[in-house]
Structure 1
């Protein structure tokens, strides 16, 4: 059996050295490069058993690297890495799998040694001359009640934070908390991979409680003018204990309800409008704010929406990302902003990905924005650092 070898492509010498050190400790031969051409030359000449690729680098297109490896019939086990909060990684992982690459998993920064070790040693024990059909990275990601329970017990669920910006001043007004499942070998999984299952199995309230606890602890450490937004499932709306859980957390963690914004989709509120009105009115009475999430994608009537005690309307990113190229999308955004104004609602647009979108929304009268143009979702430590460095300009 040949020696395990690892070829690293990373433009951050510190991160690369951490990966290299752990791999060498496990008996790997290691080479580190920060140039895409040199990396491909080394790959062809050395034929390493493992690759570690930083998928997000200023001068290198990581997706193209993966596609090129696929064209070369790469048999190496691949670990994808990148900066904290990069939502490109799950997409890159899907691209790699679609091209039949052998993805071991995702390594987020800051690196956790035990995860890196698992990604490397899980492959050491198998035949390195052949791709194993049973390899964990090639298996479908199956979610059931037991796997969710295990993930909760092992604290694999965490919250990433994306800032929300006042468009006319550049001031940060708050953060949205986005739940992620940090799977030890398959990388980060987004909510659409597990929330529907949790709703069916009755575990959604446990996940909501994780979001509440993590988010409230984060926001209490920041300026008391900043808000925290969290998504509420349609199933949770029917749970009368939701209000009690939020009130209890607000009191015990000393976070004023006025700093908390509960985001609900149109569909969630329309499944049982009368029940939704009752629960949402309770929450508003306690001081919590309410946001209509993904507005414009559902089928609710204006009359029904007007009856519910919302304080904010969130414009769906499908309209925001196309408003500069589609006159129809721009008209939808403009009319939505007028509707929100007539109902006395604050407005926030998600999916702000460039300067034109930010300026265009501001000119139309949208007060707040959120999207990759300002920042990707980040873990708590990175979000705190980012906040301290934000210069209010865009």
Structure 2
């Protein structure tokens, strides 16, 4: 293992080195040192070996830790190197540095307040490496398994399976609606999830065909089971879909033919596409035909506020990456808090995705969030089990009150 320690205090460097050797007693370890940021940058530029970890102090004369971090962010070979920041700075400063590093998309192990033990850094580092290796193996297996998928044939054979994830009113705990999530089913590969088949659909230009099938099947599910009419039906749509005039006509006509269904389209896409006149024209047509538009994954894109200014959304969905850890990540808490406050001022409903614990639900409720969605309530449910799930949930809600 190759490790670089950048700290202006020799005592800190010596202590960390001793701790590292004790913690990794059976490994071959090479530790490089720099006594300030400038020296660290020079060493990084000169090194001809890869590094498994860079430990950086923040406060140093002759080049501080931020200078080193910026250098790593602008040097392709170091973009993925694990970074541990150590400092005696106050908590808010450490949170700011944490935010900066995440914004730069660097590989942050953690930001640690001094005094710090090597085990505090190495334990999460090694755990992350193990998880990453497992994830890579899984992804490789999935890529291999799905290499020969004939997406066009699966769609033609109607091997599309829809699942529905409930959206829950945080005040009353009642079911407000369901979001449609798609799967493909292949007799050789079993369930195929969107991360595997959506890129293939995009590559083959089947976006509008796929979206039409999803809408058709979801509406049929709502028609077949009258109990579902009381719940909204949310379906994902891309800005690429909105450039297809035939698809827009189909959606409007389908909505008219199923006027008892409260249809919501959840939109997420890039700034470059979403501001095209053609797309905005399509959105206007949908809205005047009583189809609400929801802004999905709010906060993930730099173009979020431009979207809010251009389009009269009825709903904002806060991305799960901010929600799932907001009880322990103060930065994410502030993002969620400010988003809810903004939505309230704009009189827009706000939905929090990725709610997995009662603690998160409680915080969201206290902040005034309207609706929650996530595994705390249910994973996605196949259509054939939907009525049974609703009955069970409503029964538990009544008996729990």
Same-fold status (TM-score > 0.5)? yes
More helix by percentage: 2
* Conserved 8 A contact 2:221-2:383: yes
Report the counterpart of residue 241 of structure 1 in structure 2.
246
* Conserved 8 A contact 2:265-2:293: yes
Report the counterpart of residue 124 of structure 2 in structure 1.
none
Report the counterpart of residue 225 of structure 1 in structure 2.
230
Shift, 1:305, TM fit: 1.9
CA RMSD of aligned residues (A): 2.7
Secondary structure at 1:298 match in 2? coil
Q: 1:160 aligns with which of 156, 160, 163?
A: 163
**1:192/1:99 CA distance change after superposition, 3 Å:** closer
Q: Are residue 349 (structure 1) and residue 352 (structure 2) matched?
A: yes
Q: Are residue 318 (structure 1) and residue 321 (structure 2) matched?
A: yes
Report the counterpart of residue 333 of structure 1 in structure 2.
336
Q: Deviations over 1:20-72 (max 9, x none)?
A: xxxxxxxxxxxxxxxxxxxxxxxxxxxxxxxxxxxxxxxxxxxxxxxxxxxxx
Secondary structure at 2:173 match in 1? coil
Greater RCO, 1 or 2 (C-alpha within 8 Å, sep 6+): 1
Q: Deviations over 1:102-145 (max 9, x none)?
A: x9xxxxxxxxxxxxxxxxxxxxxxxxxxxxxxxxx89441267x
Shift, 1:229, TM fit: 0.3
Matches within 5 A, 1:1-394: 98=137, 139-142=144-147, 147-220=150-223, 221=225, 222-252=227-257, 254-256=258-260, 259-267=262-270, 270-390=273-393, 391-392=396-397
Structure-2 separation of matches of 1:345 and 1:138? 40
**1:328/1:100 CA distance change after superposition, 3 Å:** closer
* Conserved 8 A contact 1:306-1:343: no
Structure-2 separation of matches of 1:99 and 1:219? 35
Structure-2-length-normalised TM-score? 0.61
Secondary structure at 1:224 match in 2? helix
**1:269/1:228 CA distance change after superposition, 3 Å:** farther
Structure-2 separation of matches of 1:359 and 1:96? 31
- Unmatched tracts of structure 1, length 5 or more: 1-93, 104-136
Structure-1-length-normalised TM-score? 0.62
* Conserved 8 A contact 2:316-2:343: yes
* Conserved 8 A contact 1:318-1:351: yes
Structure-2 separation of matches of 1:352 and 1:193? 24
**1:169/1:269 CA distance change after superposition, 3 Å:** farther
* Number of residue-to-residue matches in the alignment: 264
Structure-2 separation of matches of 1:323 and 1:97? 27
Shift, 1:268, TM fit: 6.5
Report the counterpart of residue 68 of structure 1 in structure 2.
none
* Conserved 8 A contact 2:271-2:303: no
Structure-1 separation of matches of 2:255 and 2:272? 23
Shift, 1:301, TM fit: 5.0
* Conserved 8 A contact 1:163-1:375: yes
**1:388/1:157 CA distance change after superposition, 3 Å:** same
Structure-2 separation of matches of 1:314 and 1:183? 32
Secondary structure at 2:270 match in 1? helix
Shift, 1:200, TM fit: 2.9
Shift, 1:218, TM fit: 1.9
